[in-house]
Amino acid sequence: MPTPTHTLWICDSARPQIHGRGCCNDRGSERLLEHFAAALERKGLSDRIAVIPSSCMANCPMGISVKVTPGRVCYSQVQLEDVDEIIERHLLGGEPVTRLLTQEIASD
Ligand code: FES
């Protein structure tokens, strides 16, 4: 099996709903993980791009948070409908999806 060229770290952190910061799990991170995995399988990219659940990325109010390695690209508020664009534009095309970049990273 080839070594993946990229890894998608998807925050799947959960905390009680009464917590003010919220969490990515409550926003549907499990479905997002499944959606990324299914899309990569469908496109024949499962061997090249790994999808791994992650702990909190300290961006909770803007979740679901996704980090791509190698590199330092972090995305905020990622939804199911963003999956194909992240795969095609960023992972295959090398261009991050600017509108989803986490603010601190986008302003670097
Ligand atoms: S719970 Fe996902 S960034 Fe904190």
Share of the chain above pLDDT 70, in %: 93
Q: 105 CB less than 6 Å from ligand 1? A: no
Span 65-91, pLDDT tens digits: 999 999 889 999 999 999 999 999 999
Question: Residue 52 pLDDT > 90, yes or no?
Answer: yes
What's this model's pTM, rounded to 2 decimal places? 0.90
Measured CA to CA, the distance from residue 6 to residue 91 in angstroms comes to 7
The mean predicted confidence, pLDDT, of the chain is: 91
Q: Whose CA is nearest to atom 1 of ligand 1?
A: 23
Please indicate whether residue 29, judged by its CB atom, sits closer than 6 Å to ligand 1.
no
Determine the Cα–Cα distance for residues 3 and 108; give it in Å rounded to an integer.
30
Q: What CATH number labels 11-75?
A: 3.40.30.10
2, 78, 33, 86: CA torsion to nearest 10: -30
* 42 Cα–ligand 1 center, Å: 28
Asked whether 59 lines ligand 1 (CB < 6 A), one says: yes
